């Protein structure tokens, strides 16, 4: 008799879990897809709305900044208010913002709408990760997060291609309408997802929320302006210092408040800190190459955008295919410490191997380093979130998910800005001309001696790659040391 009552309940739980996973997977695809794909739409948006420079670039920057700044807020609110509720609110805000982009009459409305869309995306990603952690446990949780990693890899990899096809066939406005429709599917899906929240009856830490958003926003905004700055202006320094001061104030607030937005004990946990470092290193080891190498190939080798995208498949296909392998290795008994250390080491090796880069290099010459980076990134994607969330009590999974997504999104935005600033700075030194350095860094080699400009750009690329490889190697060592006392697999999962 007991079995006949329990079986339907189990079936319902399985069905609810599948729906939850499907909704979160869709969010994991469209978030990165719209991030990487929007850059393709910028020329058409600029031409249609007579926009250029900072206002046009904010179409990308505003989304990145708001998404990164609100991840932690969304995750903590998910624990307090309900993870499904925050996911639903995030999807609603995302749909409203993205639909407003499609209907915007000028660039200023586009910028505001994109910033709003980033807030919605933060809710989708942070609450989605929290729902998975609350719905699955043990090996099933590892498989679920590996699937999300694969979905995110698919979105990031096919974003520019999909956006290019949509823009070419439908126009940029209709392209954003398509993403609004996909967001609506997530919104509808939330009505079939089981709610979960923390049992604690606490107040929202509004002081911490405002301080964190303002501080992180100012710091990231200052950093994202570095590539276009001919010199470090006093205003830029003031902006950065103000942001840093606000972040310090946020830490002090969190130490004193009864129910903090971010429980600093999470970061005092060496193992959780190790997985956060691995998450940041993932951006360092793969995103810089993924985003900037196509520009080099088009500018120096003169290949078409389609050809450059095809070459990058050597990196993106492993990112899509390998996460499930990482999950199987860990579920099969492999040491998570060994797997993540090997993943970070592979990214270090791949970036160092990419020093073979030279004008005229063939796709075959890039195969080894790009596949190595992709395999390392795929292995890391497959296990980082699941292992980090396994260390967190059930009532704080939203906070942990928000923190991980903040680290991920913030690292990507900051890394790209810093890499751009370093490359422009090195080119400025070697070429002695700021305007020329800016142009060459973007792959524009027009001039009396394009071959010489290509050599300068290649040298700068190699110096940058040495730095990235060294940092990835150092991160691999640091993560291995932090995880050296990791408990047994069964203990971490319970």
Instruction: Give the integer Cα–Cα distance in Å for 190 and 124.
Output: 11
Predicted pLDDT of residue 448? 76
pLDDT of 336 > 50? The answer is: yes
**Contact assessment for residue 59 and residue 42, using Cβ atoms and an 8 Å cutoff:** yes
Determine the Cα–Cα distance for residues 372 and 151; give it in Å rounded to an integer.
20
Q: Would you list the DSSP string of 5-62?
A: HHHHHHHHHHHHHHHHHHHHHHHHHHHHHHHHHHHHHHHHHHHHHT--HHHHHHHHHH
Contact call for residues 99 and 180 (beta carbons, < 8 A)? yes
pLDDT of 463 higher than 70: yes
* DSSP summary character for residue 231: S
Alpha-helical segments (H) within 136-262: 138-170, 172-189, 206-224, 234-256
Angle between helices 363-389 and 305-321 in degrees, nearest 10: 40
- CA dist 432 to 230, 385, 451, Å? 12, 45, 17
Q: What is the CA radius of gyration of the chain?
A: 22
CA–CA separation, 397 and 80 (whole Å):
11
- What is the average pLDDT score of the chain? 83
Task: Say if residue 124's pLDDT is above 80.
Answer: yes
Task: Return phi, psi of residue 362, to 5°.
Answer: -85, 165
Distance CA(349)–CA(468), nearest Å, equals: 10
pLDDT tens-digit series, residues 5-31: 333 446 666 677 888 889 988 988 887
pLDDT digits (tens, 9 = 90+) for 356-400: 999 999 989 999 999 999 999 989 887 888 888 888 887 778 888
42 pLDDT higher than 90: no
**Of 162, 169, 172, 163, residue with least CA distance to 44:** 172
Residues whose CB is less than 8 angstroms from the CB of residue 155 and which lie 6 or more positions away in sequence, other chains included: 28, 29, 30, 31, 32, 33, 36
Dist. CA 118–CA 89, nearest whole Å:
13
Please state the rounded mean pLDDT for residues 473-489. 81
How high is the pLDDT of residue 36? 64
Per-residue confidence (pLDDT) for residue 493, from 0 to 100 = 45
Q: Report the percent of the chain where pLDDT is more than 70.
A: 90
Q: What pLDDT, on a 0 to 100 scale, did the predictor assign at position 489?
A: 42
pLDDT at position 168 over 80:
no
pLDDT tens sequence across 53-86:
667 778 877 888 888 888 888 888 888 888 899 9
| Alpha carbon of residue 62 to chain centroid | 14
Cα 157 from chain centroid (whole Å): 12
365 Cβ neighbours under 8 A, 6+ residues apart: 356
């Amino acid at each position: 008799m007991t079995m006949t009552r329990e079986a339907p309940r189990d079936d319902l739980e399985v069905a609810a879990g599948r729906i939850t996973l499907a909704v979160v997977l869709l969010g994991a695809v469209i978030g990165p897809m719209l991030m990487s794909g929007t850059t393709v739409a910028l020329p058409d948006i600029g031409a249609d709305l007579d926009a250029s420079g900072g206002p046009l670039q904010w179409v990308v920057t505003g989304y990145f900044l708001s998404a990164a700044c609100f991840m932690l807020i969304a995750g903590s609110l998910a624990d307090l208010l309900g993870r499904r509720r925050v996911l639903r609110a995030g999807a609603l805000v995302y749909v409203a913002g993205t639909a407003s982009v499609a209907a915007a009459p000028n660039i200023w409305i586009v910028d505001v709408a994109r910033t709003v869309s980033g807030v919605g995306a933060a809710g989708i990603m942070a609450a989605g990760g929290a729902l998975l952690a609350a719905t699955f446990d043990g090996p099933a949780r590892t498989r679920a997060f590996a699937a999300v990693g694969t979905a995110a890899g698919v979105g990031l990899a096919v974003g520019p291609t999909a956006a290019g096809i949509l823009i070419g066939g439908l126009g940029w406005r209709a392209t954003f309408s398509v993403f609004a429709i996909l967001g609506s599917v997530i919104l509808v899906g939330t009505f079939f997802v089981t709610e979960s929240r923390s049992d604690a009856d606490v107040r929202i830490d509004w002081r911490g929320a405002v301080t964190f958003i303002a501080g992180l926003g100012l710091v990231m905004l200052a950093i994202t302006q570095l590539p276009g700055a001919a010199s470090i202006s006093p205003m830029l320094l003031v902006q950065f210092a103000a942001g840093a001061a606000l972040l310090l104030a946020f830490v002090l607030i969190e130490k004193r408040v009864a129910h903090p937005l971010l429980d600093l004990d999470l970061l005092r946990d060496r193992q959780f800190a190790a997985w956060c470092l691995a998450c940041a290193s993932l951006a360092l080891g793969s995103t810089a190459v993924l985003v900037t190498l196509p520009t080099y190939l088009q500018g120096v080798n003169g290949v078409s955008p389609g050809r450059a995208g095809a070459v990058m498949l050597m990196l993106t296909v492993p990112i899509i295919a390998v996460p499930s392998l990482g999950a199987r290795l860990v579920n099969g008994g492999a040491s998570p410490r060994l797997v993540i250390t090997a993943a970070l080491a592979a990214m270090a090796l791949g970036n160092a191997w990419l020093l073979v880069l030279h004008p005229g290099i063939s796709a075959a010459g890039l195969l080894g380093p790009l596949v190595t980076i992709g395999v390392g990134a795929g292995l890391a994607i497959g296990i980082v979130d699941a292992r980090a969330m396994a260390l967190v009590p059930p009532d704080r999974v939203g906070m942990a998910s928000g923190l991980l997504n903040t680290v991920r999104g913030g690292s990507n935005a900051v890394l790209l800005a810093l890499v751009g600033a370093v490359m422009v700075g090195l080119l400025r030194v070697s070429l002695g001309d700021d305007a020329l350095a800016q142009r060459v860094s973007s792959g524009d080699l027009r001039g009396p001696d394009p071959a010489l400009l290509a050599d300068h750009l290649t040298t700068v690329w190699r110096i940058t790659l040495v730095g990235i490889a060294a940092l990835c190697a150092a991160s691999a060592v640091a993560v291995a040391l932090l995880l050296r006392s990791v408990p047994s697999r069964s203990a971490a999962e319970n």
